[in-house]
Amino acid sequence: MRMRIGFFLALVACVCGACSSVGAVGEDGPQNPIDLQLFNPFASSWLISERRLDASTFELSLRAKHFRKGGDGEVIQVIRQRADQLQREAGASSYRLLDFSEGVESSSGWAYRVSRVTVVLVASP
């Protein structure tokens, strides 16, 4: 009995460890340079997909991972963290969050928490 429990725990550890990695872009890089998958180690419960709409507008789509330890309420912090990073990279003075939405998507048989927001960078004067 003890052997079965040990085997089961080792199996669960391997599965959970494999699920915490993100194979978002692949070895050859993104297929579409505008559509990027980002991995944020500080928000390991969420996958971020980013799409540039124009020079100062980005659409962020977030999806919660299946196997996670909490982090369900942190989506707005993850969005603000990525928006701050975009602001610094572009040298913008600020940003605005538009069209924020949250929901649950269950098209693949599993239910995912999802969120989408449009980020507009405001140019420095």
Q: Do strands 35-38 and 94-105 pair parallel, antiparallel, or not at all (unpaired)?
A: unpaired
- Note the pLDDT tens digit of each residue in 80-112: 999 999 999 999 999 999 999 999 888 777 888
Tokens linked to 118: 């449009």
* Distance between CA atoms of residues 64 and 114, nearest Å: 6
Rounded Cα distance, 34 and 121, in Å: 17
First and final CA of the chain: distance in angstroms? 70
State the pLDDT at residue 112. Answer: 85
Reading the chain (125 residues) residue by residue, the pLDDT tens digits are 455 555 555 544 444 444 433 334 444 444 445 555 555 555 457 889 999 999 999 999 998 877 666 666 688 888 999 999 999 999 999 999 999 999 988 877 788 889 999 999 998 77
Structural domains in the chain, sorted by start = 2-122 (3.40.1720)
For the chain, give the longest Cα–Cα distance: 70
